[in-house]
Amino acid sequence: MENKKELRSWLDAFGLDHPLVIAGPCSAETEEQVLKIAHQLKDTDTTVLRAGIWKPRTRPGNFEGVGALGLKWLQKAKEETGLLTTTEVANANHVDLALQHDIDILWVGARTTVSPFIVQEIADALKGTDKTVLIKNPVNPDLALWLGAVERFYTADVKNLGVIHRGFSTYEKTKYRNNPEWQIPIDLKNKFPDLPLILDPSHIAGRRDIIFDLCQTALDLNYDGLMVETHYDPDNAWSDAAQQITPARLDQMTVDLRIRKKDTEAMEFKNMLNTLRTQIDVVDDKIVELMGKRMKIADEIGVIKKENNVAILQNKRWNEILGRMIQDGELHNLSEEFMLKIYKAIHQESINHQKKIING
């Protein structure tokens, strides 16, 4: 993409002295609910009111949104509070209806981003408009697919663009509803530093107790904003109840979050250092996770060896691994000495795991 500076102008135009805050219910349920939440948010740091009008549920039979009727509620909320409005659009018809109701910001959901055909349809429907479009990462961890969606809008002359990091689906059970996979948005930010990046901690967390920590990590990584699901009665929300917080909790959270400001050269240095250290923390967490997976495989190998009365140490296999890893390490500027130390330690831990299986 050329002229990347244009991508940031819409965010700079707000003139905020803090990251952009987008907040509101997962789903618009009733007019009263939307207005009540909007009025509770208007005195917080919230700039944009969000609400799902059309809800793409994983399985049919769940609440799938109130439909176009909810757009009128967002309009009314904007008139009464002055908050800007945003909702998800999943096809050209949604776009037309949102434009008719003067929705300020449209976002493309994770399930939509995976389909270039639908993304192109939405981009064509918005061609040449001055609306801001935020694109959530695809459900699968694919940076190229995410950027491809952005490029389709940019090519359609939609220049007010941003992206939303909402985590990635995984078959494995983790503490998150959707794994953050921080390295992917970090790579995006490094590649396109002027493309506004917003965190959706609600969909990553799936539960409200870890939303704050996710937001702090995002701010430490210099994200440009947060999209947080809020409801005055979260436990009784019609969708995604467990991951929504109250407007009062959001207000306190924005006070408690540490924002890295760049007032002096020394502060800029500290910001850069904190950002890089947070990136290291993210990578380290991934390394530990992968090591755990590797040892689980070693356990399975131990079971097979025990059943077939085979020795733990297989010298030929070990030498093949070591040689390959040393070569791979050189490609990543890692010394042979370092790779020997690391993989000898890994090998020893694998042996220990297998010994417990065979001798247990």
We report the CATH number of the domain holding residue 282 as 1.20.59.10
**Domain-embedded: residue 1:** no
Q: Quick one: 238 and 350 in the same domain?
A: no
Give the mean pLDDT of the chain: 91
Contact yes or no for 242/227 (Cβ under 8 A): no
- The band of 210, judged by pLDDT with boundaries at 50, 70 and 90, is very high
Least confident of 57-66, 171-180, 181-190: 57-66
Q: Domain holding 166: CATH number? A: 3.20.20.70
- The band of 1, judged by pLDDT with boundaries at 50, 70 and 90, is very low
Closest C-alpha to 198, from 12, 5, 21, 1: 21
Compute the distance between CA of residue 68 and CA of residue 259 in angstroms, rounded to an integer.
37
pLDDT tens across 223-233, in order?
999 999 999 99
Q: What is the mean pLDDT of residues 41-56?
A: 92
**Domain-embedded: residue 26:** yes
**pTM (2 d.p.):** 0.81
**Domain span at 29:** 6-259
Instruction: For helices 247-256 and 31-41, give the axis angle rounded to 10 degrees.
Output: 30
Q: Which of 231, 259, 287 is the last residue of a domain?
A: 259
Residue environment code for 190-211, b if the CB has 16+ CB neighbours within 10 A, otherwise e: eebebbbbbbbbbbbbbebeeb
Evaluate if residue 276 carries a pLDDT over 80.
Answer: yes
Contact yes or no for 45/249 (Cβ under 8 A): no
β-bridge mates for residue 108, sequence order:
135
Q: Quick one: 118 and 224 in the same domain?
A: yes
**Domain-embedded: residue 238:** yes
